[in-house]
Chains A and B, each alone.
Chain A
């Protein structure tokens, strides 16, 4: 097993390097540059700008410089948000996105798993059908539909009642400002997690060791909680890897809809403004996070599934 993890860690480095290289050269292929404006700048100023940002050097030197800076945690200056480095922008945005993402994940695990278990224990009954229909809705209707609809409902229709919630803005993470974004972000995860939990719970409840546990007279809820739960969590843990990717892309939408100052919105803004360094910085950070989290998920996986440990 340790061999496997070491291999995974070793694979992570070339993957990250590939991400950096690929995004760097892709960005440089782009026609037009960050200094293009409607009224063209005088050539002397343009030249000075290019020198200041190191664009006059050969491409390969720029790439090596970028790599060296990256190793020091320096993503370079932002082209559009003058006076800010990309590292500073990320340092501002990451806590916002990460805390929302974490809350959404906790909410969906706390809600999705119990709901999935209830559905599994009532397989093919009304409760089950009801829960699975809601799960289907959560999976199929995209967040960029649910988000504006929630905003419409809580922000405009319920405007003068006590249920009114702010539909945008951050205000240093006040609870009311977080409610709608976090709910919106977690809905698809609740849906997925409950579906996965239901499927694997149904399978687990049919195994011999569960039958034994019931046969020897253990109370039903104890069988479910102590025996079935742990092994039916394996597929849920597997889902957490792709979930982080979805969380990162989800944050782009959520932060755009609700106007939150997170890295997702910086990325979208940066992409629209051709802010090369900002876009690259966020991409590399996202890849880094995904790689780390997939690795952690694998370790939890090995802890849950003894078969994997002896492989």
Chain B
């Protein structure tokens, strides 16, 4: 496992060594750690690939995202363009370029679904990032520092847990207008609670490990220990949680859009499309069923992937 940069690595982070032995042999230990580290992730990866549902889901998500972001460039209609020849819902046809037909205003359904997918994926990723940022920071601070910091932060989390925050998101959306960016920040602010609890638990078990002691002895500050030693070690849990949070966020956004509180026309999202489709299902069930199919597929895939990752990174749970 000799690598050209081993010397440099050794100087930089021998305190990070996972092994509580003395550091005299740290060069060989470092190499050992290298193997250990790699095998953890490699074996997790192998387990993930063996899990067919999770693997296929991951590929499908990538495919869906690719289609949503690239597809619109290949369509002859844009999502807000009205086909004045077909001012009512028309069935799919190859000839006029409406591969999934049009909605009741003569707009291309496929283009709208792809646009809606972009919104859903963006909200999913960005809101999850907000949630992870807050959740990991609060959780690791509370878990690592303990004492009154832990008490205060966790009581705040307890209180927020009890409040039905969906109501507050709706109030926020009403007050500050249906701003796209505000929406994902608001959703992110709601979703961080569980994350912070999980991270706190993990941090508390790590806090008393020897490699943390050794980092402290060698003079690392608390901030450095948290960011350099604690957070890299809880990444696995965070990754699993991220894949399980993204579908929740997509669902929340669709929920808001369904109620008319999310994205505003002519912009659209999967939830908004389902809401429009539900109003016209008597005449054209297609406008309800096709967006619902897209949304459900994406949610299924994220859930299977999340479950698969959890099994892969934490074999105990099986």
Binding site for B on A (CB under 8 A): 11, 14-15, 18-19, 22-23, 26-27, 29-31, 136, 139-142, 144-145, 147-149, 151-152, 156, 245, 248-249, 252-253, 256-257, 267-268, 271-272, 274, 279, 282-283, 286-287, 290-291, 294
The residues of B that contact A257 with a CB separation of less than 8 Å are 278
Binding site for A on B (CB under 8 A): 155, 158-159, 162-164, 166-168, 170-175, 247, 251, 254-255, 258-261, 271, 274-275, 277-278, 281-282, 285, 288-289, 292, 295-296, 299-300, 303
- A-B CB contact pairs (8 Å), 20 listed: A11-B159, A26-B175, A27-B175, A30-B175, A136-B300, A136-B303, A139-B303, A140-B300, A141-B292, A142-B251, A142-B254, A144-B271, A145-B296, A245-B164, A253-B255, A271-B171, A279-B171, A283-B167, A290-B164, A294-B162
A152 touches B296 (CB 8 A): no
The residues of B that contact A19 with a CB separation of less than 8 Å are 163
The 9 closest A-B pairs by CB, nearest first: A148-B278, A30-B175, A145-B292, A249-B166, A283-B167, A140-B299, A144-B258, A286-B164, A271-B174
| Distance in angstroms between the alpha carbons of A253 and B292 in the assembled complex | 16
The residues of B that contact A253 with a CB separation of less than 8 Å are 255, 258-259
The residues of A that contact B271 with a CB separation of less than 8 Å are 144
B281 touches A271 (CB 8 A): no
| Distance in angstroms between the alpha carbons of A267 and B261 in the assembled complex | 12
Looking at A27, A29, A148, A267, which has the most chain B CB atoms within 10 Å of its CB? A148
Closest to A19 in B: B163
Rounded to whole Å, the gap between the CB of B16 and the closest CB of chain A is 35
| Distance in angstroms between the alpha carbons of A141 and B279 in the assembled complex | 19
The residues of A that contact B282 with a CB separation of less than 8 Å are 152, 156
From known contacts A149-B292, A267-B170, infer whether A140 and B247 are also in contact, taking CB-CB under 8 Å: yes
| Distance in angstroms between the alpha carbons of A65 and B247 in the assembled complex | 42
A282 touches B167 (CB 8 A): yes
From known contacts A11-B159, A152-B285, A287-B162, infer whether A144 and B167 are also in contact, taking CB-CB under 8 Å: no
| Distance in angstroms between the alpha carbons of A241 and B31 in the assembled complex | 48
B274 touches A145 (CB 8 A): yes
| Distance in angstroms between the alpha carbons of A64 and B162 in the assembled complex | 24
The residues of B that contact A152 with a CB separation of less than 8 Å are 281-282, 285, 288
| Distance in angstroms between the alpha carbons of A279 and B172 in the assembled complex | 12
Looking at B155, B159, B166, B171, which has the most chain A CB atoms within 10 Å of its CB? B171
B171 touches A23 (CB 8 A): yes
A290 touches which of B155, B162, B247 (Cβ 8 Å)? B162
From known contacts A30-B175, A148-B281, A272-B260, infer whether A141 and B296 are also in contact, taking CB-CB under 8 Å: yes
From known contacts A141-B296, A156-B282, infer whether A148 and B171 are also in contact, taking CB-CB under 8 Å: no
| Distance in angstroms between the alpha carbons of A22 and B289 in the assembled complex | 40
| Distance in angstroms between the alpha carbons of A286 and B300 in the assembled complex | 30
Rounded to whole Å, the gap between the CB of B167 and the closest CB of chain A is 5
A26 touches which of B171, B275, B303 (Cβ 8 Å)? B171
A149 touches which of B175, B260, B288 (Cβ 8 Å)? B288
| Distance in angstroms between the alpha carbons of A11 and B162 in the assembled complex | 11
| Distance in angstroms between the alpha carbons of A249 and B258 in the assembled complex | 13
Rounded to whole Å, the gap between the CB of B201 and the closest CB of chain A is 16
B159 touches A140 (CB 8 A): no
| Distance in angstroms between the alpha carbons of A149 and B281 in the assembled complex | 9
Rounded to whole Å, the gap between the CB of B155 and the closest CB of chain A is 8
Rounded to whole Å, the gap between the CB of B248 and the closest CB of chain A is 11
The residues of A that contact B259 with a CB separation of less than 8 Å are 252-253, 256, 268
- Given A144-B274, A148-B274: 13 more A-B contacts, CB < 8 Å: A27-B171, A141-B296, A141-B299, A144-B275, A145-B296, A149-B289, A245-B164, A256-B258, A267-B167, A282-B167, A286-B164, A287-B162, A294-B162
A291 touches B164 (CB 8 A): no
The residues of A that contact B172 with a CB separation of less than 8 Å are 26
B295 touches which of A31, A145, A149 (Cβ 8 Å)? A145
| Distance in angstroms between the alpha carbons of A256 and B279 in the assembled complex | 12
| Distance in angstroms between the alpha carbons of A145 and B247 in the assembled complex | 15
Rounded to whole Å, the gap between the CB of A206 and the closest CB of chain B is 13
Rounded to whole Å, the gap between the CB of A281 and the closest CB of chain B is 11
| Distance in angstroms between the alpha carbons of A239 and B126 in the assembled complex | 28
The residues of A that contact B171 with a CB separation of less than 8 Å are 23, 26-27, 271, 279, 283
B168 touches A23 (CB 8 A): yes
Rounded to whole Å, the gap between the CB of B169 and the closest CB of chain A is 10
